[in-house]
Structure 1
């Protein structure tokens, strides 16, 4: 498999440790990019003599070419894990993005799960374990940047958590005959308030958004799978194949068969393959 050699890690290592009260580390010279996930306890870190602090349930990033000294919680154990990422190059653009972020960030459940997966990969007997670990390390890095940049957005520019929760519920239940009441209940708001949220931020009602996503999923399955049209209709929550075909025609001006044929022909023509 080919990778972008300018960014694909040369080496990745992960680990986990519990320091007793009063534990220390260093001074040491940081050679790689490192993510540190702190589950419990407290950490003080001096980077080139400047002190920073991180509490439990946080994640922070350490940049290469700096001297570091760690002093862990004096009253309780400090449990943390880490991932070292040795990149071939460290661009000024990446450095600027990392330096603008809040330090540390809250430790999200997703980052915690990624770290568990990374630790498990060390014990896997697969010939591709190292490749998977490198890919996962990059995913963690981009997740860290994404979470950090999202935290910098003004509150007014971020969708309300209730709206995101409702959208996630809809996307997870496209196949089911869900109602406005069920969506509102899953989001812990009234149907009236939910409608106002959707109209304010998406200019759609929740049910209109539901059908928009069903149509989008149906088109994706037409283009990217060979499933029968009736099966796609059922999997996307349409009442019948006829109902699905009618909504697809309204959206695209084409029948489901035409949507699939056009996409497949474009795909083969783009590769220089005769259909």
Structure 2
């Protein structure tokens, strides 16, 4: 993905912190970009409606509209570094965010870029603000590239397998993308994108294929009328079912039933 640079203005910062006995950071409201890297221990990250548990060696990119917060459990030693800012022209990034993994194992490149930013400190002397913003954009590019590689190489995620099974078991119900996404605890945008990536079609198309497959099964193996079959497998009307059969088999439901009997 070719990424335009993000304008982070003067609020762009890098930093590091050791929690010797737990602690919280936030909540922070409004449009907010945060990159968190855990070096030692573990940390819970809340980004709008999602919650992530990061362990040592992992990093996460968060883009929030309403609420960002991190917390470390009491009596826990945790060391983290971060990069954050208020993005000014990141609508495209908010849109693309659901397409890649929320966290990854930090690569040597990510560690190096983060450390360079931390070493700059918070001052503005010598044009550090511009260097800090450039490092943030480089860090963003590195994370997205590595997250996309991981997504491309990993097996089908369990959430997508669960969504597929839910569709297969409930195809006759009046389902929406939002309901399926809620069932497997992901956003509708991620569900559509990941389902298509790993299974080659959208959840909606898979749902209609399930309805058609079971409908033709009933058509060929039962004496139910075409209307009864259509309503039983989730079609709103028999015409829609008949049209789908025609498109798939190049014959009407009645002709498909006759072919089965003759065979």
Q: After TM superposition, give the deviation of residue 51 of structure 1 in Å.
A: 2.8
Partners of 1:97 and 1:145 within 8 A in 2? no
The reply on whether 1:16 has 2:16 as its aligned counterpart is yes
Matched with 2:107 is: 108
| Alignment: residue pair count | 152
Structure 2 residue ranges without an equivalent (≥5) = 156-263
Distance (Å, rounded) in 1 between the aligned partners of 2:129 and 2:154: 39
Matched with 1:145 is: 144
Q: TM-score with structure 1 length normalisation?
A: 0.49
Q: After TM superposition, give the deviation of residue 144 of structure 1 in Å.
A: 0.7
Distance (Å, rounded) in 2 between the aligned partners of 1:116 and 1:50: 27
Q: After TM superposition, give the deviation of residue 56 of structure 1 in Å.
A: 1.0
Distance (Å, rounded) in 2 between the aligned partners of 1:125 and 1:87: 19
Partners of 2:14 and 2:81 within 8 A in 1? yes
Q: After TM superposition, give the deviation of residue 140 of structure 1 in Å.
A: 0.4
Partners of 1:6 and 1:88 within 8 A in 2? no
Distance 1:137 1:76, change over 3 A: same
The reply on whether 1:62 has 2:62 as its aligned counterpart is yes
Aligned ranges 1:213-228 → 2 under 5 Å: none
**2:126 partner SS:** coil
Aligned ranges 1:68-79 → 2 under 5 Å: 68-79=68-79
Distance (Å, rounded) in 2 between the aligned partners of 1:112 and 1:81: 10
Distance 1:30 1:58, change over 3 A: farther
Matched with 2:90 is: 90
**2:148 partner SS:** helix
The answer to which structure, 1 or 2, has the higher relative contact order (CA under 8 A, 6+ apart) is 2
Matched with 1:46 is: 46
Q: After TM superposition, give the deviation of residue 60 of structure 1 in Å.
A: 0.5
Q: After TM superposition, give the deviation of residue 73 of structure 1 in Å.
A: 3.5
Q: Name segments (4+ residues, structure 1) moved above 6 Å.
A: none
Q: CA RMSD in A?
A: 2.8
**1:63 partner SS:** strand
Matched with 2:204 is: none
Distance (Å, rounded) in 2 between the aligned partners of 1:64 and 1:49: 9
Distance 1:75 1:29, change over 3 A: same
**2:67 partner SS:** strand
Q: After TM superposition, give the deviation of residue 133 of structure 1 in Å.
A: 1.3
Partners of 1:114 and 1:140 within 8 A in 2? yes
Distance (Å, rounded) in 1 between the aligned partners of 2:126 and 2:83: 20
Q: What does the per-residue CA deviation read over 1:175-212, in whole Å, with 9 as the maximum and x for residues that have no partner?
A: xxxxxxxxxxxxxxxxxxxxxxxxxxxxxxxxxxxxxx
Matched with 1:199 is: none
Distance (Å, rounded) in 2 between the aligned partners of 1:77 and 1:38: 11
Q: What does the per-residue CA deviation read over 1:55-86, in whole Å, with 9 as the maximum and x for residues that have no partner?
A: 11111012132213322143431111111133
